[in-house]
């Protein structure tokens, strides 16, 4: 069901709350998270992947409330720092349902993971094997997985493709790297290798790369059995499921993905004479992305012979994605109805560089003026989690909407917050 409703007066409601009212009461920019949408997306994954573990990738966005919703909906969590891990566990998230990732885990990451009893540590490089084994206490056994790069190039942008061999993550299937690491892992009495992991990339809209990954990982499982007599029981396919940022964009349907992956897994395992391992998936963006919307206020407009610039009170500090990956969004005027015809606009931020562009060449009413509100949908993933305080602009607040009411989850970063860290003179 559509939770975003536009009323005839031009006001946009999310979760039963008018976005312009939230802009008034919380100021702008303001990030709004639709609790029911997050929960629905979690449930859609649970339904699509029965018998599998679905771990929300916390890097997309995490705050205490979101961790709590995800936990209540029965998902696990994928974290990649002590910070994400501690936030989740202090919110009551069961540590055994959490996976720790990272190509360069800090001593603190590992200490925190072992202290809190994280469910799995995903080993990302050969050097980590001895390092983690040495950190595990006597008589204890930490469950680990091994991240491999299956030699697949997939994903919406070169910067988020992680399945090919020549990059910083994981162990390559080529040249026996992954096999060698498995042999070493199996010889570690304080580690228990439960399975294999891969993450192909992000914003993938096609199921085929996942099917190829299943075949290659099952192949490695078969070689592991042949070489060591060990049958690995888990296969983690990572996340990366693409979503639509604009009407008409392609998205990856979790149900279709689940169907095809399960069929491929069954077939590959039957072919290899292996039992079907427990499947794990790690969607981030697909859970929180579409549940978020950001509201900005227009501060200035300017026409050049080439372009119509609409400048808002946020920008690359709260959403670095257009600058980093050239992502396209669909901003819209909210809070009033305009009878003016559309005009191609360039929505820019307030920061001191020309590359601070939020949306290029998008239709907006030609009478957009300072004081107007613009909403940018699909803002729930990789905006605030990647936000900075560039130009000493405080990071925006997060407000949850549910059943017609808004509630503040994360307050705005103040100048006092920013100055508190500046302790020298």
Please list the active-site residues: 352
In DSSP terms, 147 is beta-bridged to: 197
Contact between 234 and ligand LLP by CB under 6 A: the answer reads: no
Q: How many CB atoms lie within 10 A of CB 147?
A: 24
Contact between 120 and ligand LLP by CB under 6 A: the answer reads: no
User: What stretch of H or E contains 378?
Assistant: none
Tokens (6 digits) for 308: 């119509």
Asked whether residue 296 is marked as a ligand-binding residue, the answer is no
Q: How far is the CB of 392 from ligand LLP (least distance, A)?
A: 23
Contact between 60 and ligand LLP by CB under 6 A: the answer reads: yes
Cβ-contact 347, 372 below 8 angstroms: no
Asked whether residue 285 is marked as a ligand-binding residue, the answer is yes
User: What stretch of H or E contains 258?
Assistant: helix 254-272
Among 11, 325, 328, 409, binds ligand LLP (CB under 6 A): 325
Cβ-contact 209, 154 below 8 angstroms: yes
Q: How far is the CB of 239 from ligand LLP (least distance, A)?
A: 3
Phi and psi angles of residue 206, each rounded to the nearest 5 degrees, phi first: -125, 140
What end-to-end distance do the CA atoms of the chain give, in Å? 56
Contact between 282 and ligand LLP by CB under 6 A: the answer reads: yes
Q: How many CB atoms lie within 10 A of CB 388?
A: 12
Among 12, 36, 38, 57, binds ligand LLP (CB under 6 A): 57
Contact between 199 and ligand LLP by CB under 6 A: the answer reads: yes
Q: Is residue 186 packed enough to be buried (19+ CB in 10 Å), middle (13-18) or exposed (0-12)?
A: middle
Residue whose C-alpha is closest to residue 379's, from 39, 61, 83, 68: 61
- In the bound state with ligand LLP, the residue whose beta carbon lies nearer, of 241 and 350, is 241
Asked whether residue 282 is marked as a ligand-binding residue, the answer is yes
Contact between 31 and ligand LLP by CB under 6 A: the answer reads: no
Among 277, 283, 315, 322, binds ligand LLP (CB under 6 A): 283
Annotate each residue in 150-179 with x if it binds ligand LLP (CB under 6 A) or - if it does not, as one string.
----------x-------------------
Q: Could you tell me how far CA 212 lies from the centroid of its own chain? A: 23
- In the bound state with ligand LLP, the residue whose beta carbon lies nearer, of 20 and 84, is 84
- In the bound state with ligand LLP, the residue whose beta carbon lies nearer, of 197 and 262, is 197
Asked whether residue 264 is marked as a ligand-binding residue, the answer is no
In DSSP terms, 301 is beta-bridged to: 310
Q: How many residues in the shown chain lie near ligand LLP by CB under 6 A?
A: 23
Binding positions for ligand LLP, 358-387, rule CB under 6 A:
381-382, 386
Asked whether residue 321 is marked as a ligand-binding residue, the answer is yes
Asked whether residue 394 is marked as a ligand-binding residue, the answer is no
Angstrom distance (rounded) from CA 148 to CA 368: 50
- In the bound state with ligand LLP, the residue whose beta carbon lies nearer, of 160 and 375, is 160
Cβ-contact 383, 61 below 8 angstroms: yes
Residues forming contacts to ligand LLP in the complex (CB under 6 A) are 57, 59-60, 78, 101, 160, 199, 202-203, 238-241, 282-286, 321, 325, 381-382, 386
């Amino acid at each position: 069901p559509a939770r975003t409703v536009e009323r005839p007066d031009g006001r946009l409601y999310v979760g039963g709350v008018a976005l312009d009212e939230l802009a008034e009461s919380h100021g702008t920019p303001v990030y709004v998270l639709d609790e029911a949408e997050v929960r629905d997306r979690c449930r859609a994954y649970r339904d699509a992947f029965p018998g599998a573990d679905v771990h929300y990738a916390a890097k997309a966005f995490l705050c205490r409330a979101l961790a709590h919703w995800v936990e209540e909906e029965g998902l696990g969590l994928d974290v990649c720092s002590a910070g994400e891990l501690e936030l989740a566990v202090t919110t009551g998230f069961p540590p055994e349902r959490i996976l720790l990732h990272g190509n360069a885990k800090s001593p603190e990451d590992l200490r925190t993971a072992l202290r809190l009893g994280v469910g799995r540590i995903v080993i990302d490089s050969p050097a980590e094997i001895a390092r983690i084994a040495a950190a595990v206490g006597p008589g204890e056994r930490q469950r680990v997985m091994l991240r491999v790069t299956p030699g697949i190039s997939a994903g919406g942008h070169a910067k988020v493709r992680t399945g090919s061999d020549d990059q910083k993550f994981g162990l390559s299937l080529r040249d026996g790297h992954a096999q060698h690491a498995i042999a070493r892992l199996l010889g570690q009495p304080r580690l228990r290798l439960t399975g294999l992991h891969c993450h192909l990339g992000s914003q993938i809209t096609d199921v085929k790369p996942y099917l190829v990954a299943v075949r290659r990982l099952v192949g490695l499982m078969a070689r592991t059995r042949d070489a060591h007599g060990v049958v690995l029981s888990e296969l983690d396919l990572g996340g990366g499921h693409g979503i639509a940022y604009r009407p008409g964009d392609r998205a990856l349907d979790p149900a279709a993905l689940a169907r095809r992956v399960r069929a491929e897994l069954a077939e590959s395992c039957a072919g290899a004479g292996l039992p079907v391992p427990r499947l794990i998936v790690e969607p981030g963006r697909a859970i929180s992305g579409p549940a978020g919307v950001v509201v900005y206020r227009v501060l200035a407009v300017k026409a050049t012979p080439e372009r119509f610039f609409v400048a808002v009170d946020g920008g690359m500090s709260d959403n670095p994605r257009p600058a980093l990956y050239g992502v396209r969004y669909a901003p819209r005027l909210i809070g009033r109805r305009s009878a003016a015809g559309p005009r191609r606009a360039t929505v820019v931020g307030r920061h001191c560089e020309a590359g601070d562009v939020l949306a290029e060449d998008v239709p907006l009413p030609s009478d957009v003026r300072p004081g107007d509100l613009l909403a940018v949908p699909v803002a729930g993933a990789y905006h605030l989690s990647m936000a900075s305080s560039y130009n000493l602009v405080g990071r925006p607040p997060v407000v949850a909407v549910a059943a017609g009411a808004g509630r503040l989850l994360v307050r705005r970063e103040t100048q006092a917050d920013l100055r508190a860290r500046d302790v020298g003179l």
